[in-house]
Amino acid sequence: MGSSKKLEGENTMKNVLKQINDFLGMTTGLLMNLIVAGTIIGILYDDIFGVIAGIGNAVNAIGDGGVAGLVAVMIVAMWMKK
């Protein structure tokens, strides 16, 4: 009986982690779509939400970081491929 409860606990933990992973994946997808929509709206309507300015600031910060900025971009790119 003890091993049965252990397996049940492991399955419950796997289900919880899968649900958290699914939620984070959906949230990331939603945020990426909002950034794209904000960028398109910013191009069409003179950046009313400030998305393009924010992207420009992020790119400038990465550029100012030099090699560290390049490594950060590479890590994010590898992370996004998964």
Taking residues 16-28, what's their average pLDDT?
93
pLDDT in tens, 53-77: 888 888 888 777 788 877 887 888 8
pTM: 0.58
Instruction: Give the C-alpha separation, 58 to 65, whole Å.
Output: 11
Contact 48, 42 (CB under 8 A): yes
C-alpha 27: how far from chain center = 8
C-alpha 53: how far from chain center = 19
Given a cut of 90, whether residue 20 has pLDDT beyond it is yes
Average pLDDT value over all residues in the chain? 83
Q: How many residues does the chain have?
A: 82
